[in-house]
Amino acid sequence: MHEGVQVSSKLEELQALLAPVVVALGYECWGIEFSAQGRHSMLRVYIDKEGGVLVDDCAIVSRQISGVLDVEDPISVEYTLEVSSPGMERPLFTLEQFAKFAGEQVKIRLRSPFEGRRNFQGLLRGVEEQDVVVQVDDHEFLLPIDMIDKANIIPSFD
């Protein structure tokens, strides 16, 4: 099986399992990242709430998620669980999130090259159907959401 497909189906499984747990605790499940690297695998769950996330919030969610993961055991390798807030360099996962942050500067890395490149940094214009629209200098790129490996807001300190 192609590794990208394997990781994305694992992510979907983790999302389906963990998002309801986060929501039941009163938080928004902003997104989940899973990097499979043998014993150094990392499961990162981003949570958000009105007014911001505190360390105690992360601890509460981490305990609940750990309990669910122990019972369901969806990850066959050793891994580290990290629960955190999206922070200043907020990662973007869904079309709705990309639309909400239109007008911000973003950094996007694709799974495979698009028009000869994998990295894009520029102004997030919004979304069109299944594409994320990014303006880099004076060129607009429509990047298919399913090609995006990682995307983050670039904080502005005006």
The pLDDT assigned to 36 comes to 84
pLDDT (0 to 100) of residue 3: 47
Report the candidate in 124, 126, 119, 148 with the shortest Cα–Cα distance to residue 135. 124
Element (H, E) at 19: helix 3-24
pTM of the predicted model over 0.85 = yes
Q: pLDDT tens, position by position, for the chain (158 residues)?
A: 344 556 678 888 999 999 999 999 999 999 999 988 888 899 999 999 999 999 999 999 999 999 999 999 998 888 999 999 999 999 999 999 999 999 999 999 999 999 899 999 999 999 999 999 999 999 999 999 999 999 999 998 86
Which tokens hold the place of 20?
């309801």
So where are the chain's domains? 3-84, 95-153
Structurally, at CATH architecture level, domain 95-153 sits in Roll (2.30)
Homologous superfamily (CATH) of 3-84 is: RimP-like superfamily, N-terminal (3.30.300.70)
- pLDDT attached to residue 1: 38
CB 80 within 8 A of CB 41: yes
DSSP of 57-92: HHHHHHHHHHHHHHHH----S-EEEEEE---TT-B-
